[in-house]
Structure 1
Amino acid sequence: MNCFSINIKNTKVILALGAESDGNFSIYLNNKIYFSCSFGDLLDEEKYQNFQKFVLDFFKKNKIKPDIILTDLHPLYKTTIWGKELSQKFKAKHIQVQHHIAHIFSTIGEKIIIENCKLKIENCIGISCDGTGYGLDGKIWGGEIFKFKVKSLKLKVIERVAHLENQIMIGGDLAVKEPARMLIAILDKFSMDSISLLQAFNFQFSNKKEFIFSFVKKYYTRNQFELLYNQFKQNFNCQETSSTGRILDAVSVLLEFCKNERNYKHEPIDLLEKNSCVPCGMGSGFGACVEPCQTIQDSKFILQTTYLFEYLINNLHRDKKRLATIAQLYIAQGLYEIIKNLKPKNYNLKIIFFAGGMANNKIISSYLKSKGVYINTKIPSGDAGLSFGQIVFYLFNF
């Protein structure tokens, strides 16, 4: 295990069990965080049992037991269920930490470690983008901006101030395996005026449903499409998500860089990135080439992703590699522009953190780095670093 000294004192022994994908655990003991490697996908029973063995062996070897057990907010993760069981076994307090907040705190914690001192931040802003994370409102999050008010290394306020437009996952998690399901729901948001504009490119549609089917008919038969569309319209087993991963999955399938399947984690996004053209430098040449569309809803900024798909479809006759780059930059630039538009008082915009699996996307991360945003270099940005972030979150709170 890796061991990091952290200059935040706490008398408790803290165990953090991470999420479920890229399983990992961390233990805080005597001003040190012991951080495990990734055990892989814990849905694999053999990997899960190996994960459990390593956790229990650590406590047995060191003759200690946890006072605090931290898990993800998702109620069905194996780590959440096991965390509850362990809390009863060890008579420890069980605390659940929201997924994307933990991601950001993994980045905050790394900065503390690298600077080898207490991080002198009273207020900061964090961006967290990934595929899936259980939100505080019960929806699936994954493209989030938070404001954190910190005083004397204690977290006072967390506020979710912005996110990507919510889209519908038809069939819930099945939309992860079949990204064309996301595309169906997104295209259904197009106005008939938008669809009418496509007539100029020799698209002919009698109605919106025919328009949508034209983009997914290579993946679904007419009967399969009708079933999915009816399921969507009846809102049966459909979930709202602000996930960056699901948006880029849908872009990848629209541009035909991936098939309507996922053979490994992040496959559609990996193929999208691999088939992108290289942005021509930073600064003005690094822009998204399409102005991000923002709205305000319930006092939160919303980065409109349906607007992105309208742009892409209106430009499908152009270089798809360039469109792939534009789509990824649209997310990065849009989120950064929202932060500038927030104009938060007493917030240092030079200290912005970016975390989550999408921080591994070179196009998105390069744009944000060019704006001075801090991204992990030691702790994994994705779920493989989540337990570390859960520990740091607790240290800032208690």
Structure 2
Amino acid sequence: MQTFSVPNIRSKKTILALGAESAGNFSIFKNGIIHFSQNFGDLLKEVNFTKYETELNKYLKNKKIKPDVILTDLHPDFKTTRLGIELSKKYKAKHIQVQHHIAHIFSQLGKNMIISNFQFFRPRRTSLGLAISKQFSNSNVQIPNLFYGIALDGTGYGTDGKIWGGECFAISNFQFFRPRRTSLGLAISKQFSNSNDKIFKQKMRIERIGHLENQIMIGGELAIREPARILISILDKFSIFNFKFSNNDKIYKFKNKKDFIFHFVKKYYSRNQFELLYNQLEQNFNCIETSSTGRILDAVSLLLGFCKNERKSKHQATYLLEINSSAPYTDLKPKINIIKNNSILNTTFLFEYLIKNINKDKKRLAATAQLYIAQGLHEIIKKHSLVIPAEAGIQKSSKLPPIILSGGISNNKIISQYFSKQNKKAGISISETPAIPRGDAGLSFGQIVYYLGF
């Protein structure tokens, strides 16, 4: 177990966080110390879950730990969630569920505050009577009463019951105004209701300000193993399908949309198999919406020919896309739609670009797709920062507040280097130490940090 001292926290509660499922680990907070366990691997494998549960119970028994609060993921079917319910009954502890991507972001916020030894300050009052949130600083870093968090991963259960994975959050100690239009035509997105403490505590405002466009996973989790399923659903959204395009000096024309889509997946499915999948999509049978960055990059990797329609390891398709990337093209700009007062990065538009340019350098197209996601999410944050209410007590500046990058896909070099560069432009240095992983192996740490109210 690694241990980390948490400065200026006087909570007398003992807190147990059980993390997620794909990279299982647990954390315990007691007497100002966070105890952070090893990564037990994918808990869907029974041997890993057995070891995880055995080591957890052994640690609780040997250290005579009786948790007052047990934190789990929001997903109701995770093994760790079910275990948390059992343990909360055993110890008569309060069970609180923390949304997956919020925990990701707070794991990285906590890493900067605790492990990088930044000074931690308590809230104070401004001349406007508004509290400035807890912050940490050294000569290079200061987290004020507003920062942005980005969570990029494969799957995480959202508060709307959909699968999230390409998320932008504004986290502050003040309340954003209700949605409205500004003179710039920019909508302030609807904030989360945090009246349910199973999801969000009331010490901070956590607002989902934008995300990747929702795409359809045909067959649910089968689309994780077969990226062609999500590619089919994306191509089905194309408004124009009968255009000509050339590939290796060959001109293609299509009579209808189905023929167009089948052209790109016929290496993986027979015509009959494709018809079954397409009918399933049309009937919306076992089709799940997702804003997952992982699923988008998987589909890009498949379209460009870097991966097969299979998944032998986690993030395999995305990794193959990354290592086969070169210099991106510069003619693709993010397309952001405002839907129900939320900023949505249009990923269908990305695939339209890729199809129209499919005869170009595939390695450059690979880099372009990854950069599109980074630039698009950054643009969402920039637009949101323009409409921060004056009552927040934040001085207007050309520089953005800090951006915390988290989630397993945020280890992607093109994406992470882009945001590192943007933070440096704003005079902000974010810790890159791997002590707390950005992915699920650091999630329990983030659950603890979130609960403590950073």
- Structure 2-normalised TM-score? 0.82
Aligned with residue 407 of structure 2, among 353, 356, 363: 356
**What amino acid does structure 2 have at the position aligned with 1:252?**
S
CA distance in 1, matches of 2:327, 2:260: 32
Partner of 2:89: 88
Partner of 2:319: 270
* Change in CA separation of 1:375 and 1:75 when aligned onto 2, cut-off 3 Å: farther
Aligned with residue 272 of structure 2, among 223, 227, 232: 223
CA distance in 1, matches of 2:338, 2:302: 29
Aligned-CA RMSD value:
1.8
Aligned with residue 184 of structure 1, among 232, 256, 276: 232
In the TM superposition, 1:1-398 aligns within 5 A as 1-7=1-7, 8-113=9-114, 114-118=116-120, 119-120=135-136, 121-150=144-173, 155-192=203-240, 195-196=242-243, 198=245, 202-278=251-327, 288-342=330-384, 343-345=386-388, 346=392, 349-372=400-423, 374=430, 376-377=432-433, 378-396=435-453
> Percentage identity across aligned positions?
59
Q: Which deviates more, 331-340 or 211-220? A: 331-340
Q: Please state how far the C-alpha of 1:339 moved relative to its aligned partner.
A: 0.7
CA distance in 2, matches of 1:97, 1:198: 47
Q: Please state how far the C-alpha of 1:196 moved relative to its aligned partner.
A: 2.2
Q: Please state how far the C-alpha of 1:156 moved relative to its aligned partner.
A: 2.4
4+ aligned runs moved over 3 Å, structure 1: 197-201, 373-376
Q: Please state how far the C-alpha of 1:337 moved relative to its aligned partner.
A: 1.1
Q: Please state how far the C-alpha of 1:125 moved relative to its aligned partner.
A: 1.0
**What amino acid does structure 2 have at the position aligned with 1:371?**
Q
**Structure 1 gap segments, 5+ residues each:** 280-286
Report SS of the residue matched to 1:37: coil
**What amino acid does structure 1 have at the position aligned with 2:206?**
I
Query: Between Structure 1 and Structure 2, which shows a larger proportion of helix residues?
Result: 1
Q: Please state how far the C-alpha of 1:150 moved relative to its aligned partner.
A: 2.9
- Structure 1-normalised TM-score? 0.94
Partner of 2:130: none
Asked if 1 retains the 8 angstrom alpha-carbon contact of 2:216 and 2:289, the reply is yes
* 1:257-291 CA distance string (max 9 Å, x none): 00000000000001001111156xxxxxxx85410
Q: Please state how far the C-alpha of 1:10 moved relative to its aligned partner.
A: 1.2
CA distance in 2, matches of 1:104, 1:344: 23
Q: Please state how far the C-alpha of 1:157 moved relative to its aligned partner.
A: 1.1
Report SS of the residue matched to 1:228: helix
**What amino acid does structure 2 have at the position aligned with 1:356?**
G
Q: Please state how far the C-alpha of 1:229 moved relative to its aligned partner.
A: 0.4
CA distance in 2, matches of 1:13, 1:288: 51
Q: Please state how far the C-alpha of 1:376 moved relative to its aligned partner.
A: 4.7
**What amino acid does structure 1 have at the position aligned with 2:444?**
S
CA distance in 2, matches of 1:341, 1:17: 36
Asked if 2 retains the 8 angstrom alpha-carbon contact of 1:25 and 1:36, the reply is yes
Q: Please state how far the C-alpha of 1:25 moved relative to its aligned partner.
A: 0.5
* 1:28-62 CA distance string (max 9 Å, x none): 01111111110000011111011011111111111
Asked if 2 retains the 8 angstrom alpha-carbon contact of 1:144 and 1:164, the reply is yes
Partner of 2:132: none
Asked if 1 retains the 8 angstrom alpha-carbon contact of 2:403 and 2:419, the reply is no
Q: Please state how far the C-alpha of 1:158 moved relative to its aligned partner.
A: 1.0
Asked if 1 retains the 8 angstrom alpha-carbon contact of 2:149 and 2:170, the reply is yes
**What amino acid does structure 2 have at the position aligned with 1:293?**
K
Q: Which deviates more, 320-329 or 332-341? A: 332-341
Q: Which deviates more, 37-46 or 270-279? A: 270-279
* Change in CA separation of 1:124 and 1:344 when aligned onto 2, cut-off 3 Å: farther
- Number of residue pairs matched by the alignment: 388
Report SS of the residue matched to 2:314: coil
Q: Please state how far the C-alpha of 1:154 moved relative to its aligned partner.
A: 7.4
